[in-house]
Homo-oligomer: A and B are copies of this chain.
Amino acid sequence: MAATMRAPRIQALWLLPWLLVVFLTKFASTSPLKTIPKLAVHHRINLENPSTSTNLNPYNPEDHKTYYYDQTLDHFNYQPQSYATFRQRYVVNEKNWGGSSVAAPIFAYLGEESDLEGDVEAIGFLRDNAARFNALQVYIEHRFYGKSVPFGTRENAMRNATLRGYFNSAQALADYAEVLLYLKKHFSTQNSPVIVLGGSYGGMLATWFRLKYSHIALGAFASSAPVLYFDHITPSNAYYSVVTKDFLDASRSCHNTIKRSWGDIDRAAATSNGLSWLSKKFNTCNPLKDGSELKDYLDTLYCTAAQYDRPPRYPVTVVCDGIDGASQNSDNLDRIFAGIVAFRGYKSCYNLSEFFPSETLQGWRWQTCSEIVLPVGRGDQDTMFQADPFDMKTYSDSCKQDFGVTPRPHWITTYYGGLNIREVLKRFGSNIIFSNGLHDPYSSGGVLENISNSIVALVTQQGSHCLDLMPASQNDPEWLVRQKNEEVEIIHNWILQYYQDLFQSY
- B79 near A162: Cβ-Cβ < 8 Å: yes
Q: Is A477 an interface residue (CB 8 A)?
A: no
Contacts of A178 in B (CB 8 A): 414
- A76 near B77: Cβ-Cβ < 8 Å: yes
Q: A177-B415, A501-B427 are in contact. Are A405 and B215 (CB under 8 A)?
A: no
**A79 and B163 alpha carbons, distance in the complex (Å):** 8
Copies of this chain: 2
Contacts of A87 in B (CB 8 A): none
**A269 and B60 alpha carbons, distance in the complex (Å):** 73
Min Cβ gap A96→B in Å is 25
Q: Is A74 an interface residue (CB 8 A)?
A: yes
Q: Is A82 an interface residue (CB 8 A)?
A: yes
Bitwise, A164-192 to B at CB < 8 A (1) or not (0) is 11111011001001100100000000000
Q: Is A417 an interface residue (CB 8 A)?
A: yes
Min Cβ gap A348→B in Å is 43
Q: A83-B405, A181-B414, A212-B212 are in contact. Are A78 and B428 (CB under 8 A)?
A: no
Closest to A425 in B: B214
Contacts of A167 in B (CB 8 A): 78
**A425 and B215 alpha carbons, distance in the complex (Å):** 8
> Nearest 7 pairs between A and B by C-beta?
A215-B417, A79-B165, A76-B76, A78-B370, A214-B428, A77-B165, A78-B165
Q: Is A505 an interface residue (CB 8 A)?
A: yes
Q: Is A75 an interface residue (CB 8 A)?
A: yes
Which residues 395-451 of A have a CB within 8 angstroms of B?
A: 404-406, 408, 410-411, 413-431
Contacts of A419 in B (CB 8 A): 215
Min Cβ gap A415→B in Å is 7
**A164 and B79 alpha carbons, distance in the complex (Å):** 7
- B75 near A415: Cβ-Cβ < 8 Å: yes
Min Cβ gap A250→B in Å is 36
Q: Is A502 an interface residue (CB 8 A)?
A: yes
Closest to A160 in B: B79
A-B contact pairs, 23 of them (CB 8 A): A74-B77, A75-B170, A75-B415, A76-B76, A77-B165, A78-B165, A79-B162, A79-B165, A80-B405, A83-B406, A174-B414, A177-B414, A212-B212, A213-B415, A214-B424, A214-B428, A214-B429, A215-B413, A215-B419, A215-B420, A422-B505, A428-B429, A428-B430
- A214 near B214: Cβ-Cβ < 8 Å: no
Contacts of A422 in B (CB 8 A): 505
A: contact size bracket: 35 or more
A positions within 8 Å CB-CB of B: 74-80, 82-83, 161-162, 164-168, 170-171, 174, 177-178, 181, 211-216, 370-371, 404-406, 408, 410-411, 413-431, 454, 497, 501-502, 505
Q: A405-B83, A505-B422 are in contact. Are A427 and B497 (CB under 8 A)?
A: yes
Q: A78-B167, A423-B502 are in contact. List 11 more A-B contacts (CB 8 A).
A: A74-B77, A76-B77, A76-B171, A78-B165, A79-B161, A177-B414, A215-B418, A422-B505, A423-B501, A427-B430, A427-B431
Contacts of A413 in B (CB 8 A): 215
Min Cβ gap A180→B in Å is 10
Contacts of A77 in B (CB 8 A): 74, 76-77, 165-166, 168
Contacts of A426 in B (CB 8 A): 501
Min Cβ gap A227→B in Å is 11
From B78, B416, B429, A405 is in contact (CB under 8 Å) with B78
Q: A423-B502, A423-B505 are in contact. Are A76 and B170 (CB under 8 A)?
A: yes
Contacts of A411 in B (CB 8 A): 75
**A136 and B371 alpha carbons, distance in the complex (Å):** 31
Contacts of A370 in B (CB 8 A): 78
From B75, B211, B215, B431, A214 is in contact (CB under 8 Å) with B211
